[in-house]
């Protein structure tokens, strides 16, 4: 079985600024590249799980999300970082019901099965309680951080 780091996107990977859907607003946080490289060196696979409710609310299109994710993956690839999968929910309870939106754990559970991940050796890092809850519902240890802080601040909370 593999071990994984599940990452929320906005506030953990990039600067949280409300709805981030324009490429010029997508700014990768300081130290992120270095920390993701460390996670990979320690044998973790990396998976992004993000709520993108602006699509359901009509604030932006799913293609906007895809453009940002393509850019993000390209930046990671330049730095030898491999993201195994990006799962994102385009729903919002005010507009459309679903079971993929965090704090539900559908995407975490899908990844656990698809990639043969041991939840007991894995972490979900997020800047909102719903991120932690999604991980913990699936047996993954949740780590709550402040939005827009370096992931270096939590390394001492993890068994790498």
CATH assignment at residue 142: 3.40.50.1000
| 31 carries an active-site annotation | no
The 10s digit of each residue's pLDDT in 17-70 is: 889 999 999 999 999 999 999 999 999 999 999 999 989 888 999 999 999 999
Q: Check whether 124 has a pLDDT greater than 90.
A: yes
SS3 (DSSP) at 56: coil
Strand ranges, E, within 9-139: 44-51, 83-89, 123-126
| 8 carries an active-site annotation | yes
- How many domains are there within the chain? 1
Q: Name the nearest CA neighbour of 108 among 47, 152, 56.
A: 47
Write out the two tokens for 58: 């009509």
SS3 (DSSP) at 46: strand
Among residues 8, 64, 127, 131, which one is catalytic? 8
Which band of pLDDT confidence, cut at 50, 70 and 90, is reported for residue 71?
very high
Q: Name the nearest CA neighbour of 12 among 62, 60, 63, 46.
A: 46
Q: Identify the domain containing residue 85 by its residue range.
A: 3-157
Q: Name the nearest CA neighbour of 57 among 15, 10, 19, 8.
A: 19
Which band of pLDDT confidence, cut at 50, 70 and 90, is reported for residue 96?
confident
- Give the pLDDT of residue 58: 86
């Amino acid at each position: 079985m593999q071990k994984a780091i599940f990452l929320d996107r906005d506030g953990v990977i990039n600067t949280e600024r409300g709805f981030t859907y324009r490429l010029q607003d997508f700014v990768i946080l300081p130290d992120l590249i270095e920390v993701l490289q460390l996670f990979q060196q320690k044998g973790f696979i990396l998976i992004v799980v993000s709520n993108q409710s602006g699509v359901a609310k009509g604030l932006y299109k799913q293609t906007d999300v895809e453009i940002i994710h393509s850019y993000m993956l390209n930046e990671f690839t330049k730095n030898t970082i491999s993201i195994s999968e990006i799962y994102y929910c385009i729903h919002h309870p005010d507009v459309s019901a679903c079971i993929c939106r965090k704090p539900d754990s559908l995407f975490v559970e899908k990844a656990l099965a698809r990639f043969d991940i041991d939840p007991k050796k894995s972490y979900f890092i997020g800047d909102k309680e719903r991120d932690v809850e999604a991980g913990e519902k699936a047996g993954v240890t949740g780590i709550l951080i402040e939005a827009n802080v370096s992931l270096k601040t939590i390394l001492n909370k993890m068994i790498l």
